[in-house]
Structure 1
Amino acid sequence: MTETKTAGPYPPRTYPLDHLVLPTASLDVARARLVSLGFVVAPTGIHPFGTENCCVFLEDGTYLEPLAVGNEQAVAKAIADSNVFLARDRAYRDKRGNEGFSALVLGTGDADADHVRYVEAGLSAGDMLSFSRAFTDPAGKSDTASFKLAFASGTGATDAFLFACERINTPKVDRTALQIHPNGATGIIEVVAVSNEPSEQRRLISIATRSPATGQGSSTAFDLPNATLTLLDPVAFETRFGIRAGAPSELRFAAIVFSVRFADTVAKLLAASSVEHDIRGDDIVVRPASGQGAAFVFQEKA
């Protein structure tokens, strides 16, 4: 079996968090909401198959990908042509609406090998996808980003999926200005998922991330090189964040925990933007809203 070649300074057996996909009905709404939360938002990116995004890039190399449908006809054609990324996005929107958090993306150096692993484990969500798109930095410099994706999902699950992303070509543009945020966010510490049957999702997540599960019962953690993926049952989720978990789900990504330089800076910024938030211990919790498909949690880290 081919040994997976993970790019970057990461252990070869555990994959790093690459980015998070957050469906939204409108990039304009998503952009306005994210700016009100203190993030700098990149210019709109156009996919060749009808979707578009406005990403938030962080210093730790991870990013958020708010995703909207820009060309419905192109999306429908791509789904008919077995584009798994769009088919999963459509299934998510049909089930949970146009605002949410549908996918966790892992960095890999060999998406072909990952696809083979997923197929052999009975967890493949469908065919691989390769594509390229233009990328433009705030100064107007453009380059082409190219990707190869391999998809994993639990049987019959529509609320969440994971995929491995191999960067075939990384844009040679300066993202520094896009990574300095007024709220002081520097990275993603943790991604939190909710499941009514957490034990049933351990195998899927462990195989996708190549990380063993730790903990049991209401809380399970998967340690990635640059973040933690935590799986909670609905009661544990509500207890921790003060937010109801919502409709029962096999697996749903529900919260993102960001590291920030100063919690006071975040609190003052949110108050100035009239964004409702709760202080829960060391966490500043902002509930999901239009354009913000998950709970955003800010933690001060030195």
Structure 2
Amino acid sequence: MTAHLRPLDHLVLPVGDLHVAEARYAALGFQVAPRGQHPFGTENACVYLADGTFLEPLAVADEERASEAVKSGNVFVGHDKTFRTRVGQDGLSALVLGTQDASADDARFRADAVSRGDMLRFSRPFVGFDGTSGEASFLLAFAGDLRAPDALFFTCERIGVPAVDRTPLTRHANGVTTLRRVILVAPEPHHFEMLLTTLMDHADPVRSDDAIDLQTGTSTISVLTPAAAHALLGDARWDEADPTLQFAAIEFGVQDLSATRTHLEAGGMVVETAGSSLRVDAAAGQGVPFLFTEARS
């Protein structure tokens, strides 16, 4: 990890049925952690990677609690509900960066007019791979843009997390070790530079004709034009006339691409070639396309 860059912490992926998502990730060759319950009606079944990032497939376990959370101004649950209404039950709804000071982030987001609402502090039970348990506590600061109604960004400060070794959960049969890149789409990527650079504490974007790239301490965030996204993902659903910013795909790093293909196909996946990567398109329980790219030596 590069010390001066904010690390990507995790991605939030709404799912309609957590059982379906668990089965899908297992078929893709990922090891899925035991479920975690939130105090505001949602639950997850996370996939942890060796680079310290993770995926958070998220379902609504208690509709009544979730509705009460929305009414009380819970930004996390409120966005989840809006996303499911606007986009669907399966997708990618939020990008989360790690932080040591969420309160400072919140102040910066408010000063730069990108805050999405009040901070959220919560605790939840934590169960480790070996069955050990404890309580984890978090403080979240939210950012966003009115031109990105389906994309939430926040920073996450861990203010009380049990010392549990997650290493066994980071070994995946498909060979994935890193979350290389998060891909978003917008007709005018540069319109979202201020949002992303503020989120990342003024990281420098790399611009090209059809994209902007920002480096986190662990991964790259890319905003592509619809044409560039179509060329990579083989999906024409992004409209040049739609000015919004949307999450599009996740790219993982693997050690041996041939071995990854073999494992994916053995799990019943339809695998396409996308440049130097492999692509598995979205399905129930997997809300966006997944790309698999061999790590550079």
TM-score (norm 2): 0.95
Could you tell which deviates more after superposition, 177-186 or 244-253? 244-253
Q: CA deviation at 1:252?
A: 1.0
Rounded to whole Å, the distance in 1 between the matches of 2:208 and 2:72 is 41
Query: 1:113-124 maps to which residues of 2 (within 5 A)?
Result: 113-124=104-115
Query: 1:1-302 maps to which residues of 2 (within 5 A)?
Result: 10-11=3-4, 14-155=5-146, 157-210=148-201, 211-246=203-238, 248=242, 250-301=244-295, 302=297
Q: CA deviation at 1:217?
A: 3.2
Q: CA deviation at 1:156?
A: 5.2
Contact preservation (8 Å) 2:280, 2:290: yes
Rounded to whole Å, the distance in 2 between the matches of 1:199 and 1:39 is 34
Which runs of 5 or more structure 2 residues have no equivalent in the other structure? none
Percent of aligned pairs with the same residue? 42
Q: CA deviation at 1:9?
A: 6.4
TM-score (norm 1): 0.94
Q: CA deviation at 1:15?
A: 1.2
Rounded to whole Å, the distance in 1 between the matches of 2:233 and 2:61 is 33
Q: Secondary structure at the match of 2:85?
A: helix
Contact preservation (8 Å) 2:45, 2:58: yes
Q: CA deviation at 1:66?
A: 0.3
Q: Which amino acid aligns with 2:88?
A: G
Contact preservation (8 Å) 2:123, 2:138: yes
Q: Secondary structure at the match of 2:284?
A: coil
Rounded to whole Å, the distance in 2 between the matches of 1:157 and 1:112 is 23
Could you tell which deviates more after superposition, 235-244 or 283-292? 235-244
Rounded to whole Å, the distance in 2 between the matches of 1:133 and 1:300 is 36
Rounded to whole Å, the distance in 2 between the matches of 1:65 and 1:194 is 21
Q: CA deviation at 1:286?
A: 0.7
Q: CA deviation at 1:187?
A: 1.0
Q: Secondary structure at the match of 2:223?
A: strand
Contact preservation (8 Å) 2:251, 2:292: yes
Contact preservation (8 Å) 1:143, 1:173: no
Q: CA deviation at 1:145?
A: 1.2
Rounded to whole Å, the distance in 1 between the matches of 2:160 and 2:11 is 19
Query: 1:153-172 CA deviation, whole Å, 9 max, x = no partner?
Result: 00253210110100112221
Q: Which amino acid aligns with 2:207?
A: G
Query: 1:60-112 CA deviation, whole Å, 9 max, x = no partner?
Result: 00000000000000000011111000111111111101110000000100000
Q: Which amino acid aligns with 1:181?
A: H
Rounded to whole Å, the distance in 2 between the matches of 1:216 and 1:22 is 28
Rounded to whole Å, the distance in 2 between the matches of 1:157 and 1:254 is 13
Q: Over aligned residues, Cα RMSD in angstroms?
A: 1.4
Query: 1:259-289 CA deviation, whole Å, 9 max, x = no partner?
Result: 1111112111111112111012320101111
Q: Which amino acid aligns with 2:233?
A: F
After TM superposition, where is structure 1 displaced by more than 6 Å over at least 4 residues in a row? none
How many residues get paired?
293
Rounded to whole Å, the distance in 1 between the matches of 2:157 and 2:3 is 14
Q: CA deviation at 1:257?
A: 0.8
Contact preservation (8 Å) 1:187, 1:259: yes
Change (3 A) 1:185 1:141: same
Q: Which amino acid aligns with 2:258?
A: D
Q: Which amino acid aligns with 2:11?
A: L
Which runs of 5 or more structure 1 residues have no equivalent in the other structure? 1-7
Rounded to whole Å, the distance in 2 between the matches of 1:178 and 1:44 is 13
